């Protein structure tokens, strides 16, 4: 399984280097190469077998525990701490994690069900401006993050290894 993950990671890195510059911007000068990229994506999909999907679900289940333990150790009185004046507080970071996981889960659902519609982007600072995380207790936000992760795990448990998880257009 580790070899499959290493192979998938290597293939993804290679594909990304062909379609994106190191800055993360898309290489728009070479759309003719997209067929070759599509073939590589199909190759990656072959690597991500049922065992890979099972490993992903297992990682989603176990990794959240470490995060929750860490966050539950932060006193609510310190949850408003910002390491710099214009940076997000601990509460805002936890709320952002939950929001982002919801968005990525929705994207996975759309892709997994074969919806060809482009997916909307997300500007984190705009979303944060519309949030009320500072009015919430850290305990409530951590519980919310835990619940969101449970939903994500449930969603991924119901995906088939053949789900088209690599065919999508998502806005940055």
DSSP string covering 60-96: HHHHHHHHHHHHHTS-GGGTT--SSTTSPPHHHHHHH
- Of 26 and 78, more confident: 78
First to last CA, the chain: 31
Given a cut of 50, is residue 83 above it in pLDDT?
Answer: yes
% of the chain surpassing 70 pLDDT: 63
pLDDT in tens, 121-156: 888 889 999 999 999 999 999 999 999 999 999 998
């Amino acid at each position: 399984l580790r070899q499959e993950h290493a192979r998938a990671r290597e293939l993804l890195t290679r594909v990304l280097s062909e379609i994106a510059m190191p800055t993360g911007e898309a290489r728009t000068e070479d759309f003719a190469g997209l067929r070759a990229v599509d073939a590589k994506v199909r190759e990656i999909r072959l690597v991500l077998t049922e065992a890979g999907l099972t490993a992903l679900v297992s990682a989603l289940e176990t990794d959240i525990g470490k995060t929750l333990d860490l966050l539950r150790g932060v006193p609510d009185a310190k949850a408003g701490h910002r390491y710099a004046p214009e940076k997000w507080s601990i509460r805002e970071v936890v709320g952002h994690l939950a929001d982002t996981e919801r968005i990525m889960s929705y994207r996975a659902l759309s892709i997994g069900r074969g919806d060809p519609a482009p997916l909307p982007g997300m500007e984190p600072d705009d979303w944060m401006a519309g949030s009320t995380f500072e009015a919430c207790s850290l305990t409530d936000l951590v519980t919310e993050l835990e619940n969101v992760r449970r939903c994500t795990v449930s969603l991924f448990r119901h995906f088939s290894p053949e789900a088209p998880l690599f065919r999508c257009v998502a806005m940055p």
